[in-house]
Amino acid sequence: MFDQLLVWLETRSLRTSVELDPEMMGVGATALCLRWGTYLAILLDESRLEAGNERFSRVAEEEMMRINIEFSSNLARLLKWLHEDEERCFRLLEAAWSKLPMPERHVGLSQDFLEPYIQLLSPLFWSAAKEEFRSRLDRALPTVREHPYRVLANSLALHSYRNGPIENIHAGREGRFSLDHRRVTEAESRAILQFTSRHLAPVIASFRPWEDEPDHPIAWPDKLAGIYISPFLTSRSWTLTEESSSVRLPLDSQT
């Protein structure tokens, strides 16, 4: 889905210079990487009747895992483009913001979302790291060197989506699931997409961990090691290589 969207959007992205405000960046990134570029598009399908019951989880574990993987993989690709060709990235986001349906196009932004990331990337953090802690950082270096964008994307996806309103839909006793019904209400869909858009907005607008800092003792991408080993910012169980996964659901539904 993500690759098909890219082809479609790039034929509609004609601007030679793009000026986007942070809200547009956040909404565009969410529309491209999450709302329409992952399995979440199936759960939010407005053409299907709603089926909701707060006693039951409305998202199966396999469905949740697939969305997590696809969102993180898509976001990692977007971050790589942001690093290597910022103008192309902005053109795509402008096209996504203007062409892909979203419940709202101005959602605000989370001003403090990046604070823990900035702290773990700062020269002060690395200079003050004790010897025992530095050994953990050193062991993480091969991973962040091989998968820098996915390491970062996993963490951002976890905190801009997975730890948000989607948890209310996923929580509850295990139920049966069907693709015949929309399992997320309109209000829930709006809350999920607003939450992610607000958190991605400052990331796309101003977060550039790959930029050189003359006084920083650690260069990119090694400085991501602090994020990768953080128990608060990273789920070490998330894959660094997969782009999608299979989903198998029962034929009948129980809500």
Q: Where are the beta strands (DSSP E) in 172-212?
A: none
pLDDT value at residue 120: 94
Alpha-carbon distance values, 211 to 62, 216, 222, 248 (Å): 37, 11, 12, 43
Residue 217 has pLDDT above 70, yes or no: yes
pLDDT value at residue 252: 56
Q: Could you tell me which residue, 22 or 255, shows the higher pLDDT?
A: 22
Residue 255 has pLDDT above 50, yes or no: no
pLDDT tens per residue, range 125-134: 988 877 778 8
Q: How confident is the model at residue 56 (pLDDT cuts 50, 70, 90)?
A: very low
Tokens of residue 75, six digits: 């976001």
Mean pLDDT (the chain) is 88
Q: How confident is the model at residue 185 (pLDDT cuts 50, 70, 90)?
A: confident
Go through 61-99 and write b for each residue having 16 or more CB atoms within 10 A of its CB, e for each that does not: eebbbbbbbbbbbbbbbbbbbbbeeeeebbbbbbbbbeb
Cα separation, 215 vs 200, whole angstroms: 28
Inter-residue contact 22 to 211 (CB < 8 Å): no
What is the residue whose two structure tokens read 């098909």?
Answer: 4
pLDDT value at residue 150: 98
Mean of the pLDDT values across residues 71-82? 98
pLDDT tens per residue, range 157-181: 999 999 999 988 866 556 566 677 7
pLDDT value at residue 45: 82
